[in-house]
């Protein structure tokens, strides 16, 4: 899967370069590409449903 991701990034980079050259008339070198890191670490906080610890009248705790 990682190989396909690298290939697709190269193809998208070439496509972006050619769009800039032919549609926007920008002086872009189509052979130079540098992939910029756009990945960001994601922090997730996963919690279960509400759990309540109770105590019966005798003082014995239960969930």
- HEC letters along the chain: CHHHHHHHHHHHHHHHHHHHHHCCCCCCCCCCCCCCCCCCCCCCCCCCCCCCCEECCCCCEEC
pLDDT for 62 equals 63
Per-residue pLDDT of the chain (63 residues; tens, 9 = 90+): 555 666 677 787 788 888 888 888 878 777 776 666 667 777 887 877 777 777 767 777 766
Domain residue limits, the chain: 1-34
Please identify which residue in the block is written with the tokens 């926007």.
24
Question: Is-above-0.85 flag for pTM?
Answer: no
């Amino acid at each position: 899967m990682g190989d396909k991701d690298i290939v697709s990034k190269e193809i998208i980079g070439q496509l972006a370069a050619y769009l800039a050259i032919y549609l926007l008339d920008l002086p872009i070198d189509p052979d130079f590409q540098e992939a910029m890191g756009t990945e960001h670490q994601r922090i997730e906080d996963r919690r279960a449903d509400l759990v309540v610890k109770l105590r019966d009248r005798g003082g014995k705790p239960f969930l």
